[in-house]
Amino acid sequence: MYRFAAKRLLRFPAIQLAGGSECFRSTGTLGPAISKLSPSFCTSVESPPPTQTPNIPSAGNSSGSRSQQPRAQYQDEQVRVLNASLRHVPRLGWTESAMVAGARDVGVSPSIVGAFPRKEAALVEHFMDECLQKLMDMIDSDEDLNNLIPSDRIAKLVRTRLELQAPYISKWPQALSIQAQPMNVPNSFKQRAMLVDEIWHAAGDEANDIDWYVKRTILGGIYSTTEIYMLTDSSPDFRDTWAFLNGRVRDAFDFKKSIQEAQYLAEAIGAGMGNSVQGFMNSVFKK
C-alpha cells in the first residue's frame, strides 16, 4: 500500500515555500520539514501575476524565482547540517550540541540550529529517513533477495536496517526516548509503520484485507523487540541479536496459527466495538 508512489505523495503533508509553491517531501517519509525537496513534486498554488511577460527567460529574472531561491538554499543547508551532525552523535548524542558541531563542519552558522522547531527530534527523524532510503535502495538493487523465501527475506531486511544503527548503539536509548516524547510520537509511529510496510512489500506481500494490518503488527513487534534486545547485546557483531531475530521470525511465520488467531481476535474486537477499530486503523495506516 505505502509502496505506491501516488498514495505516498498524497499521504504526506506539503511544505509551503515562499512565492506560493507547494512541494511534497521527496523522501516519502514523515520526517522533519527540512527534508530534501524534489522539483517534480512542486505545484503552484497561486496564479501568476497578470503582467507576466511570456518570453522572459527563467534564469532568475522573475521575482518569484528570487523569493524561492534563498528558501530552497536554506533548506539545503539544513539537510547538510543534519547529515554532518550524524558524525558527532556517537560522541555528543542526539543533541543540539551535535547539530552545532555539524553546522560548523559544513561552514554554516550554528544559529541555523534555531530554525529546527524540534531540534533533537529533527536529527533522529532525519536519521530514520536516511536509513529507510538506504534500505529501499538495497531492496531495489539486491537481486539475491528474490531468491530467498519470505521469512528469510524479512529476517535479512530487519537485520540490514538494524545494522545501520550499530554505530549509534550506545546513544540509541536516547533516540528512543526522544521518539517517545508526546510531540514526536506521531512522526515516530508513522516512520516505523512505513518501514514495516516496505519490508513486507519486499517479502512479496500483497494483502489488502485484515491480514495487511495483522502482518504489520506482528512484524512491528518483531522489529521493536529485536531493537531493544540489540541495546543489551554484548556478543561479537551482535551475533546473539541476529539469533534472537531469526527465532522470532520463525515463530511468526507459523501463519496458519499466529495470523489466524490474531485475525480472530481483531474480528472479535471489531464485532464488540463496531467499525471504530477498523476506522482507526485505516486512519493510521492509510493516510
pLDDT at 74 over 70: no
* Sign (positive or negative) of CA dihedral 258, 260, 264, 269: positive
| 259: nearest Cα among 202, 221, 228, 204 | 221
Per-residue pLDDT at 192? 95
Amino acid identity, residue 152? D
Instruction: Give per-residue pLDDT as tens, 108-159.
Output: 999 999 999 899 999 999 999 999 999 999 999 988 898 999 899 999 999 9
pLDDT mean across residues, the chain? 74
Q: How far apart are CA 220 and CA 211, in angstroms?
A: 14
pLDDT at 77 over 70: yes
- Place 193 in a pLDDT band, splitting at 50, 70 and 90: very high
Per-residue pLDDT at 234? 95
- Place 36 in a pLDDT band, splitting at 50, 70 and 90: very low
In order of start, what are the domains of the chain with their CATH numbers? 5-44+69-119 (no CATH), 120-285 (1.10.357)
Give the Cβ contact number of residue 40 at 10 Å.
Answer: 9
Instruction: Give pTM, 2 decimals.
Output: 0.66
8 A C-beta contact, residue 16 and residue 63: no
Alpha-carbon separation of residue 109 from 74, 101, 202, 277 (angstroms): 11, 10, 41, 48
- Place 31 in a pLDDT band, splitting at 50, 70 and 90: very low
Contacts 24+ apart (CB under 8 A), 158-162: 158/199, 158/219, 158/222, 158/223, 158/226, 158/245, 158/249, 159/242, 159/245, 160/135, 161/131, 161/132, 161/135, 161/195, 161/199, 161/223, 162/223, 162/226, 162/227, 162/230, 162/238, 162/241, 162/245
Q: How far apart are CA 107 and CA 86, in angstroms?
A: 16
Per-residue pLDDT at 109? 93
Instruction: Give per-residue pLDDT as tens, 254-276.
Output: 754 555 555 555 555 555 544 54
Please indicate whether residue 219 or residue 256 has the higher confidence score (pLDDT): 219
Q: How far apart are CA 139 and CA 121, in angstroms?
A: 27
Lowest mean pLDDT among 28-32, 139-143, 192-196, 220-224: 28-32
- Place 76 in a pLDDT band, splitting at 50, 70 and 90: confident
Per-residue pLDDT at 209? 76
Instruction: Give per-residue pLDDT as tens, 92-101.
Output: 999 999 999 9
- Place 54 in a pLDDT band, splitting at 50, 70 and 90: very low
- What number is the average pLDDT over the span 48-69? 41
